[in-house]
A and B are shown apart, each in its own frame.
Chain A
């Protein structure tokens, strides 16, 4: 066991971890923050996506021991966050979830999209969502929710998928 110090949802934490314990297991089983869901556990499905130092990351292929000094924000840590509040409402309105298993990771990714890529067209939103798998919704409601939040924040999403033509690979 090794002692690590990190911040989780704004709280400084000191804890004993085994090197093999990934960040999601550390959060769920040692910190009892069960909002982070585990799907594939090898970095494909995106269910465990959370924020490390402000950027989305996979907590199943990040080891807690390698998070010394990091600031972690899980789905439980977005109270009072305006983009996340808007996304939660929009996910509900647009039927962007059914079983809810992918939703914590989906919301963290969606927040990254609306804050990093305001006004992104639908094709770009779908590309950015490609690392988060949802087996219920067919993604249609999720894309609508993201577009709705972009529209609310004064940065309307660009043209819908139907009007986006395939673009040849760019070269100078």
Chain B
């Protein structure tokens, strides 16, 4: 299986890439680590006519803490293995590194990028599920400058995002968790490294008024449930937040996501959500 013919241009900067992506005469797409697009090309699922190399753009390769608000600014071309190895500042009490370490295989993590995975938007991939759980924001650059998209609304369907053409995903802004934050991220895979059949995630960070549950690897965008504000008050407990997510509420969310018709699929998602709740409180 060989890729179909395409042209390739290495972009030198973000404005350069955006200008190249603005070419509407040809089907033009950015290429970052290629760990999703490469298989799509070789399997002849995707037929872009012109690929813009963005992996080497210096501005996309940084990760740093924004001194203004303590957020982690994660460049789109940061690779999963760099996060796994703790080479970026950690504002998530280890959540990003935990997720990164379980993406596919090391050879894939050495090349695959955060931005590429998000823009590809496979529902079963990890960053499209993790970033909404963290309440992160996706930074995209277009001809008129940058804008930010809430990660919870970034994905609009399977392999579909809120990116407009010719926008380029340039960074992810991850808010810093408080020292009291508790999290869990679990996924069901029949084989290590394969795409998840179901993902469950929990983030309870009451000092920041966050109580969030994730049902991921759906047929489209992940489901994010926010706990009621009154449960996040200083007088409540993490367990009270967790108890809000009853099986009835979880099943309703699974049904609303359109994956409740298959009892096996629904049960997998319910089980992953339940395991995430238990793990977060452990």
Give A contacts to B, CB under 8 Å. 2, 18-20, 22, 25, 41-44, 46, 49, 52, 55-58, 60-63, 65-66, 68, 109, 112, 127-128, 130-132, 168-172
Contact = CB atoms under 8 A, between A and B. Distances in A.
B12 interface: no
A35 B108 CA distance: 20
B183 A131 contact: no
7 contacts: A19-B6, A22-B42, A58-B38, A62-B111, A63-B38, A66-B53, A131-B106
Interface in B169-221: 181-186, 191-193
Contact of B4 (A20, A112, A168): A20
B261 interface: no
Contacts of A170: 94, 98, 279
Interface in B142-171: none
A44 B1 CA distance: 13
A60 B185 contact: no
Interface in B13-41: 31, 34-35, 38-39, 41
Interface of B: 1-8, 10, 31, 34-35, 38-39, 41-43, 51, 53, 55, 81, 93-94, 98, 104-108, 110-111, 181-186, 191-193, 275-276, 279-280, 282
Given A43-B108, A58-B108, A172-B183, A20 B5 contact: yes
A124 B3 CA distance: 34
B106 A42 contact: no
Contacts of A132: 105
B110 A62 contact: no
B193 A19 contact: no
Given A61-B38, A128-B106, A171 B8 contact: no
Contact of B34 (A44, A63, A112): A63
Most buried by A among B43, B104, B106, B282: B106
Contacts of B110: 52, 55-57
Nearest to A18: B5
A130 B192 contact: yes
Contacts of B51: 19
Contacts of B31: 63, 66
Q: Which 9 A-B pairs have the closest CB atoms?
A: A131-B105, A61-B38, A19-B8, A130-B192, A42-B39, A55-B110, A56-B107, A20-B3, A41-B1
A57 B107 contact: yes
B39 A43 contact: yes
A55 B10 CA distance: 22
Contacts of A130: 105, 191-193
A131 B104 contact: yes
A66 B53 CA distance: 7
